[in-house]
Structure 1
Amino acid sequence: MNKLEESIEFQKINHSEFEEICFELLMKLGFSGITWRKGAADDGRDIEAYRTIDNNLVEAYKDKFFIECKHFTGGVPPEKLYSKIAWADAEKPNHLVLILTSHLTNSARTWLERIEKDKSYKIHLIEGHQIKKLISQHDDLIKKYFLKNDSIELLNEIKKNWLIHNLVPSFSTWIYIFENLEMQVLTMTDKVFLYLIYYSNYSKMEELENRVYHGIEVESIITELEQEFLKNGREQASLLANLKDIDTLSDEGALVEQFDEEVHYDFMTTEMLINSKDRNNYRLAIYCFKRLKDNMAIELLMDHNSNFDFQIRLINPYTFEHYENAVRGLNFYKTEYEDRVIDSSLGMR
Structure 2
Amino acid sequence: MLIKSADDQSAFIAQLEHTANGQGPEAKRAAEELRIRKAGLKGESESAYLIDFDFASGRNWAVLHDLRLERNGRVAQVDHVLINRMLEVYVLESKHFRDGLKITDDGEFLRWNGYKKTFEGMPSPLAQNDRHISVLRDVMADLDLPVRMGLTLSPSFVNMVLVAPSARVDRPKRFDTSRVIKADQLKAFIEKDLDSGALLRLAKVVSSETLEQLARQLAAQHVPMQRQAPTVAPPVASNKVASDPVEQIAGPACKACNAAKGEILHGRFGYYFKCDACETNTSIKFECAPGHAPRLRKEKLEFFRECAECGTSALFHRNTQ
TM class, shorter-chain normalised? under 0.3
Q: Which has the larger radius of gyration?
A: 1
Q: Which has the higher strand share?
A: 2
| TM-score, length basis structure 1 | 0.24
Q: Which has the higher helix share?
A: 1
| TM-score, length basis structure 2 | 0.25
